[in-house]
Amino acid sequence: MRRFSAILIALTMTLSCATRDPGDPLRPGYNTFSKEQDIEIGKEYSAEVKKQADIVDNPRLQAFVKQIGMHLAQQPQADDYPYEFTLINQPSINAFALPGGPIFIHSGLIDAADNEAQLAGVLSHEIAHVALRHGTSQASKSQMIQLPAVLAGAVLGNGGALAQIGQVGVGLGLQALITKYSRSAEKQADALGAQIMSQAGYDPLQMARFFEKLAAEGGSRPPVFLSTHPDPARRTELVQAEMATLPARQYGYETGDFNRSKTLVAQLPPPKVTEQQQEVAAAAANPVAPQAPSAAAFVRMNGGTFSFERPQGWEAFGGRDSLTIAPRQGLVQSRSGGVVIGYGAVISRYEPRYRQDLLNASWELVQQLQESNPNLKLTQSPQQRQIGGSPGLIVGLTGASPYGGAERNILLTVQRPDGLFYMVFVGPERGFAQLQPSFERMAQSIQFR
């Protein structure tokens, strides 16, 4: 455990040194997707959002949001994406960008803003996520972990970029990665957003002040929009440092329609509740307890380089060396519209950045998972165990269950010639004891070829 802690400290120091100075160039990071795929993904996801969301049926409000958004998108820092801006009738304070240009704004954002520059600050921030390709960059990093597809064919359709992106936003209770970014990505979006605002004639400080206001009003539960953002206390300082590197400009650009738009937002009818939202709410209010499979009903399943036994009633999603094993009732529709694992198992392979031993490679995998899902916490020191005739490790983690309450995760890792084999057993804390015998049998049954 001391060695494990030492690795954590070393990695933390390495990450803390990888900081950006104000004024340094901002460029998209590691990405296995092309810009054309970004655009394709955005179009496909945008169509899905529009089917499910209550789009504001008011041409004046939509035109207002589009006018501000397109003025910002015309700035050179925004790059040449086919941006579009859509207002959703939703009183919550939120906005999100999809890869390739589609940006959605909740009506509650206009209601909460004190002036047009604050709204422009949020739009600039989201445009920056698009220009820096944060969505597909994070998806690309997750593909290094090879998180398997959960119902990628049934839910997202076979083929297409949407099916490809769908493979990385699920498993281990992870939310879709395209709408939740790391703190470093949020800082980059603040910096580039400040540049876009300044170029467009808006005061960049209004972006930071708006986020500070939301954090203060939200108390211990700030809006979802701020969940991974930098410390609000430092946000103004960071934006001011970025502004000091920009050419001096006179700020004060306005469309002149802000006050009228706030009035129109106040007159919007209550949001429509879709059938899907009703089902999700009902499921959250009445979660289904995990059902332990019969001890006698197990079947052997072959992966690309391994085989194992799975409960007969549990299905396999994905293929070859990247699988999710779960019953249909163990897959849960999340509040964000994605599919997550309520209980089941994830099997896949992780390729560490550097050639290293089992402990270091396992810890690097844990770090990657925690970066994508900050709720995951280490609860058990690594235990050595023979898995399929090879040395392995078992690590305990905990997180938030889609059923509500705590989720328990057991991570099993084995160093193999083609990378780090891993298997994660997932279940709600309150039902884990019923599932554990089945998980134990699956682990004991692993054989490598």
Whole-angstrom distance, CA of residue 49 vs CA of residue 51: 5
Q: Residues 156, 163: contact at Cβ < 8 Å? A: yes
Which of 262-266, 343-347, 368-372 shows the highest mean pLDDT?
Answer: 262-266
pLDDT-wise least confident of 50-54, 159-163, 186-190, 249-253:
159-163
Q: What tokens does 205 get? A: 């400080």
Query: pLDDT band at residue 183, thresholds of 50, 70 and 90?
Result: confident
Question: Which candidate, 287, 323, 331, places its Cα nearest to that of 442?
Answer: 323
Phi-psi region of 419 (alpha: psi -120 to 50; beta: other; left: phi over 0): left
Residue 337 gets which letter from DSSP? S
Q: 396 in helix, strand or coil?
A: strand
- Average pLDDT, rounded, for the chain: 79
Q: What angle do CA 366, 368, 372 make, to 5 degrees?
A: 115
**What is the length of the chain?**
449
> pLDDT tens digits, residue range 270-287?
998 766 556 545 554 555
Taking the chain, what is the end-to-end CA distance rounded to the nearest angstrom?
A: 31
Q: 226 in helix, strand or coil?
A: helix
Q: Mind spelling out the 3-state secondary structure of 21-62?
A: CCCCCCCCCCCCCCHHHHHHHHHHHHHHHHHHCCECCCHHHH
Query: pLDDT value at position 135?
Result: 84
Q: What tokens does 203 get? A: 């005061």
Name the helix (H) or strand (E) containing 156: helix 152-156
Query: pLDDT value at position 1?
Result: 42
Residue 382 gets which letter from DSSP? E
Query: pLDDT value at position 236?
Result: 82
Q: What average pLDDT does this structure show over 166-183?
A: 43
Query: pLDDT value at position 381?
Result: 82
Q: Global pTM?
A: 0.66
Backbone CA torsion sign across 51, 54, 60, 64: negative
Q: What average pLDDT does this structure show over 202-216?
A: 88
Q: What average pLDDT does this structure show over 168-177?
A: 34
Q: What average pLDDT does this structure show over 414-427?
A: 90
Query: pLDDT band at residue 364, thresholds of 50, 70 and 90?
Result: confident
Q: How many CB atoms lie within 10 A of CB 5?
A: 12
> pLDDT tens digits, residue range 17-73?
346 789 899 999 888 789 999 999 888 888 878 887 899 999 999 999 999 999 999
Q: What average pLDDT does this structure show over 415-421?
A: 88
Would you say residue 155 has pLDDT above 70? no
What distances in angstroms separate CA 38 from CA 35, 102, 155, 278, 339, one per listed residue?
5, 10, 20, 31, 21
Q: What average pLDDT does this structure show over 318-334?
A: 73
Question: Which candidate, 107, 114, 94, places its Cα nearest to that of 258?
Answer: 114
Query: pLDDT band at residue 318, thresholds of 50, 70 and 90?
Result: low
> pLDDT tens digits, residue range 380-389?
888 999 999 9
Q: 300 in helix, strand or coil?
A: strand
CATH number belonging to the domain at 283-448, selected among 3.90.1570.10, 3.10.110.10, 3.40.1000.10, 3.20.20.210? 3.40.1000.10
**Choice between 353 and 175, residue whose per-residue pLDDT is larger:** 353
Q: At what angle do helices 183-200 and 134-145 cross, to 10 degrees?
A: 160
**Choice between 152 and 192, residue whose per-residue pLDDT is larger:** 192
Query: pLDDT value at position 285?
Result: 55
**What are the residue ranges spanned by the domains of the chain?**
21-266, 283-448
The number of angstroms, rounded, from the C-alpha of 326 to the middle of its chain's C-alpha atoms is 22
**The pairing of beta strand 406-416 with beta strand 339-341:** unpaired
Whole-angstrom distance, CA of residue 372 vs CA of residue 393: 22
Q: Residues 191, 242: contact at Cβ < 8 Å? A: yes
Whole-angstrom distance, CA of residue 442 vs CA of residue 423: 10
